Amino acid sequence: LSAAPEIPKEDGRPKWDNKFQYILSCIGFAVGLGNVWRFPYLCQIHGGGAFLIPYFIALLFEGIPLLHLELALGQYLRKGSIRAWSTISPYLEGVGVGSWMVSVLVSLYYNTVLTWVMWYFINSFQEPLPWSACPLNENRTGFNEEFSESTAVNYFWYRKTLNITPDIAESGTLQWWLILCLAACWAIVYLCTIRGIETTGKAIYVTAIFPYLVLTIFLIQGLTLPGATEGLIYLFSPNLNTLKNPRVWLDAATQIFFSLSLAFGGLIAFASYNPTKNDCEKDAVTVAIVNSMTSLYASIPVFSVLGFKATTAYWDCLDRNIINIINEFDLPEESIMRQNYTSWISFLNSSYPEKIAGLKLKSCDLQEFLDQSVSGTGLAFIVFTQAIILMPGSQAWAILFFIMLFSLGLSSMFGNIEGVFTPLLEIQILPKSAPKELLSGIICLISFLIALCFTLGSGSYWIDIFDRYAGSVPLLVIAFFEVIGVVYIYKIKRFSKDVEWMTGRKLNLYWQITWRFISPLLLLIVFMAFVILQMQKPPIYTAWNPKYEGFPMKEEKVYPPWVQAICVLLAALPCMCIPLVALFHLVKQKRRSKDPSLVPSEVFSCQGANS
Q: Which residues are annotated as a binding site?
A: 28, 30-31, 35, 259, 291, 408, 412
Integer Cα distance of 89 and 484 in angstroms:
12
Report the nearest approach of other proteins to the CB of residue 510 (Å): 44
The pair phi, psi for residue 557, each rounded to 5°, is: -130, 160
- Closer CB to other proteins, residue 315 or residue 501? 315
Nearby residues of 63 by Cβ (< 8 Å), 6 or more positions away: 256, 257, 259, 260, 262, 288, 292
The residue from 18, 327, 342, 349 that contacts other proteins (CB under 8 A) is 327
CB 233 → other proteins: shortest distance, Å?
A: 32
**162 touching other proteins, by CB under 8 A:** no
Of 206, 18, 115, 228, the closest CA to residue 459 belongs to: 115
Nearest to 422 by CA among 274, 278, 577, 266: 266
Closer to other proteins by Cβ: residue 132 or 242: 132
DSSP 34-79: HHHHTHHHHHHHTTGGGGHHHHHHHIIIIIHHHHHHHHHHHHHHTS
At closest approach, how far in Å is the CB of 78 from other proteins? 23
The binder of other proteins chosen from 10, 334, 354, 549 (CB under 8 A): 334
In angstroms, the Cα distances linking 329 to 322, 348, 518, 537 are: 11, 10, 69, 51
Mark the segment that binds other proteins (CB under 8 A) among 99-107, 181-189, 350-358, 535-543: 181-189
What is the per-residue binding string for other proteins in 118-147, x denoting contact by CB under 8 A?
-x--xx-xx-x----x-xx---xxxx----
By CB under 8 A, name the one of 174, 326, 453, 566 that touches other proteins. 326
**SS3 state at 377:** helix
477 to 227, 264, 458, 527: CA distances (angstroms): 43, 11, 29, 7
- CB proximity list for 129: less than 8 A, separation 6 or greater: 123, 385, 388, 389, 394, 395, 398
Please state the closest distance from residue 123 (CB atom) to other proteins, in A.
Answer: 5
Residue 164 — φ and ψ, nearest 5°? Answer: -70, 145
Window of 188-196, 377-385, 424-432, 447-455 that interacts with other proteins by CB under 8 A: 188-196
- In angstroms and rounded to an integer, the radius of gyration of the C-alpha atoms of the chain is 27
Q: How far is the CB of 126 from other proteins (least distance, A)?
A: 4
Residue 435 binding other proteins, by CB under 8 A: yes
The answer to whether 188 contacts other proteins (rule: CB under 8 A) is yes
- Please state the closest distance from residue 492 (CB atom) to other proteins, in A: 43
String of contacts with other proteins for each residue 194-213, x by CB under 8 A = xx---x--------------
Say whether residue 569 binds other proteins (CB under 8 A). Answer: no
State which of positions 447-476 bind other proteins (CB under 8 A): none
Question: Cα(413)–Cα(433) distance, rounded to whole angstroms?
Answer: 27
Contact predicate 455/112, CB 8 Å: yes
Which residue's CB is nearer to other proteins, number 399 or number 582? 399
Task: Work out how close the CB of 124 gets to other proteins at its nearest, in angstroms, rounded to a whole number.
Answer: 9
Closest separation between CB of residue 199 and other proteins, Å?
7
Residues 70-129 that bind other proteins (CB under 8 A): 119, 122-123, 125-126, 128
Dihedral angle, C-alpha 68, 480, 515, 288, nearest 10 °: 30
How many residues touch other proteins under the rule CB under 8 A: the total is 33
End-to-end CA distance of the chain: 8
Q: Which of 9, 11, 241, 332 binds other proteins (CB under 8 A)?
A: 332
Phi-psi region of 431 (alpha: psi -120 to 50; beta: other; left: phi over 0): beta
- What angle separates helix 394-426 from helix 81-88, to the nearest 10 degrees? 40
Among 437, 452, 582, 589, binds other proteins (CB under 8 A): 437
Stretch that binds other proteins, among 291-299, 330-338, 504-512, 566-574 (CB under 8 A): 330-338
Shorter beta-carbon distance to other proteins: residue 333 or 602: 333
Closest contact distance (angstroms) between CB of 16 and other proteins is 19
Nearer to other proteins, 156 or 308 (CB): 156
Judged on CB neighbours under 10 Å (0-12, 13-18, 19+), 332 is exposed
The span of 48-56, 184-192, 346-354, 470-478 binding other proteins (CB under 8 A) equals 184-192
CB of 482 closer than 8 Å to CB of 81: no
Cite the annotated binding site for Na(+) by residue number: 28, 30-31, 35, 259, 291, 408, 412
How far is it between the farthest Cα atoms of the chain?
104
Does the protein bind other proteins through residue 241 (CB under 8 A)? Answer: no
* Least spacing, CB of residue 180 vs other proteins, in Å: 6
Identify any residues that bridge with 495 across adjacent strands, giving them in sequence order. Answer: none
Shortest CB 142 distance to other proteins, Å: 7
Closer of 133 and 492 to other proteins (Cβ): 133
Nearer to other proteins, 206 or 603 (CB): 206
Integer Cα distance of 608 and 611 in angstroms = 7
Q: How far is the CB of 207 from other proteins (least distance, A)?
A: 14
The answer to whether 251 touches 42, Cβ cutoff 8 Å, is yes
Q: For residues 316 and 371, which CB has a smaller minimum distance to other proteins in the complex?
A: 316
**Contact flag: residue 333 with other proteins (CB under 8 A):** yes
- CB nearer other proteins, residue 134 or residue 296: 134
DSSP per position, 77-146: HTS-HHHHHHHH-GGGHHHHHHHHHHHHHHHHHHHHHHHHHHHHHHHTTSSS-TTTS--B-TTSSSB-HH
Toward other proteins, which CB reaches closer, 142 or 560? 142
Nearest-angstrom CA–CA distance, 577 and 87: 17
Taking CB under 8 A as the criterion, the residue among 7, 169, 191, 357 binding other proteins is: 191
Comparison of 275 and 435: residue with beta carbon closer to other proteins: 435
The footprint of other proteins (CB under 8 A) covers: 119, 122-123, 125-126, 128, 133, 135-136, 140-143, 177, 180-181, 184, 187-188, 190-191, 194-195, 199, 326-327, 330-334, 435, 437
